[in-house]
Amino acid sequence: MPGASPPAGLSRELIALRAARELEPGSVVNLGIGLPTLVAGFVEPTDQILFQAENGILGYAGISESDFDPDLINAGGQPVDLVAGASFFDTADSFAMIRGGHIEAAVLGGLQVSAQGDLANWYVPARGGGSVGGAMDLAVGARKLIVAMAHVTREGAPRIVEVSDYPLTAERCVDVIITDLAVIDVTKFGLALRETAPGVSVAEIVGRTGAKLDTSGPLSEMSL
């Protein structure tokens, strides 16, 4: 039912919080620009997660509240703090990490995700262009790819579709989709609903999803 008023889903912050819960303690994680940068604010120091920024930092600790140092920013240009044991490196070494499979998980924003896990997140046909940044390398290199995005567009059109009609970031790369309405796994059999947002029904999620969604598996409400 595209066009109908959307159900009250999660805020951007709660999507980020739910995405943070998807990360393994002790893992190395890259956060894309936009909503994903909020994820760094929702992990505990005891989780010992090391955030990698593709501009050359391993071990930054969320957005800095102190003075802006132009040489100490994340990939979104925001000032960051460091954890003890952080390191710096150049872009070649940074993408060797990313492309070489040394990043356990990446959280990226999305424009569309297809039934087979193709991601489109860099090019908006209506704007006649886009910016790819490190998204294509992260999509092929991260061992687990989490897409955090609104379930539907501002106009109410599904972002989860059978086949993407946007230029792709990479084919068959997405593992998990976290939206304001649901947590959906991309499996070799297709999309499988795992969790629903509080107060959102399975029928509402299916109605706002443009691809076949298996709802027969174990289902729970997100705990936030």
Partner 1 sequence: MIAEVFDSPDDAVSEIAEGATILVGGFVSAGTPSNLILALKRSGQTDLTAVANNIGLGDLLDELCEDRQLARVIATFAIRASGGRKSRFESLYHAGEVELELVPQGTLIERLRAGGAGLGGVLTRTGLGTMMQDGKQVLELDGERWLLERPLRGDVALIKAWRADRLGNLQYRLAGRNFNPVMASAADLVIAEVEEIVEPGEIPADQVGTPALYVDRIVQCEPIPVRWEG
Choice between 78 and 215, CB closer to partner 1:
78
Give the SS3 label for residue 191: strand
What is the total residue count of the chain? 224
* Footprint on this chain of partner 1 (rule: CB under 8 A): 26-28, 34, 48, 50, 52-59, 68-73, 75-77, 82-92, 95-104, 111, 121-124, 127-137, 140-141, 167-171
Among candidate residues 13, 22, 24, 54, the one labeled active-site is: 54
Closest separation in Å from C-beta 146 to partner 1: 17
Which of 3, 38, 37, 42 lies closest to 23 in space, CA to CA? 42
Tell me how far apart the 2 most distant CA atoms of the chain are, in Å.
51
φ, ψ (nearest 5 deg) of residue 146: -105, 125
CB 40 within 8 A of CB 78: no
Closest separation in Å from C-beta 95 to partner 1: 3
- Look up tokens 């298996």; give the residue: 214
CB 60 within 8 A of CB 80: yes
Token code pair at residue 165 = 């009609």
Closest separation in Å from C-beta 117 to partner 1: 12
Choice between 114 and 209, CB closer to partner 1:
114
Closest separation in Å from C-beta 181 to partner 1: 21
Choice between 3 and 45, CB closer to partner 1:
45
Q: Catalytic: 171? A: no
Which residues belong to the active site?
Answer: 54
